[in-house]
Structure 1
């Protein structure tokens, strides 16, 4: 029989220390997800480190093999259907998609997993007096980094959003050569930029975006 001595309260971790350890663990898991797991498993490389370490190529090979295996499975299934009575199509395996696998393995939200890795670059040439509008399709609270330049010229701009009967103006400017920042959606809908060329010469606007949005489109 052994007698155990109660631990000294001073030796136990505090609540603040436990919270700090949890936060560090979550951040570390997120870094590993973006820099290692996603490039090597799904060929998604938002940081570029996956390509530098050869992980993205590994993910591309895995994705290609998975697609070929699925095609073979479908061929075998179709061949079998000609020999047996028709049956109801089997339900897709739970978590078979990339999105479901990420959610299941890392516990992140569906909206974030779907949109967080999007990156785009758009160039639009505006004639004198002409305007153009580009919008990102975003969920409320989603964020997107952006940077646009008039490539040596200047334009007037209006950063705004609309959707579900709501509208908002985030920022306006006149005679701006460039602009950059983070666009956070105030509600579900379309959020983006309108530019107008008030100079006497054509102006090319180049927009670069990355973040949590599902689509980018030119509205006008």
Structure 2
């Protein structure tokens, strides 16, 4: 049965062509690895191409999610260990009548100064905020807000998570640079100042790790261009 002609030896590719094709394929694979795979998967951008294509920020978010998952697993193990330890309370000796009387007398003496009225604290004026945003996050949902800032500029901020604590990562990127200022887990609120280490976008990534919806309220003021929602 006739299927196809057997190619002549002259029609087969030479060893030099095969080697050249293999080298070209390896170079293309290496370029894709450095410019696409490494920025998108591991937030590593040695050439700067990943930042221009928007892949480096994707890799940073993936790294944050991986860190959060690992920390959640460690926190669960600690909670289980604490629960086991609480099930075996230490035995306590019963108090004698004399010890009970002494304890009661000491409590009365300590409680006496509490009757004095505390002096009223001076009222502190509320800071003037330039921007305020409210966003509802479902369980597992994240969001990101950034301030456009010049190097050395200082912005004031205050945020609160209504309905449960929240995970956050304060960071910045721009001018081919990136920085992580502070990270927190299970934090109900925070306030302070954010000084830009370089010209670019600086702000916060938030994620709701509760089993219920929470409302994030973010207020900002100070020296910055605008507040924008990135994610």
After TM superposition, the score normalised by the length of structure 1 is 0.46
Higher Rg: 2
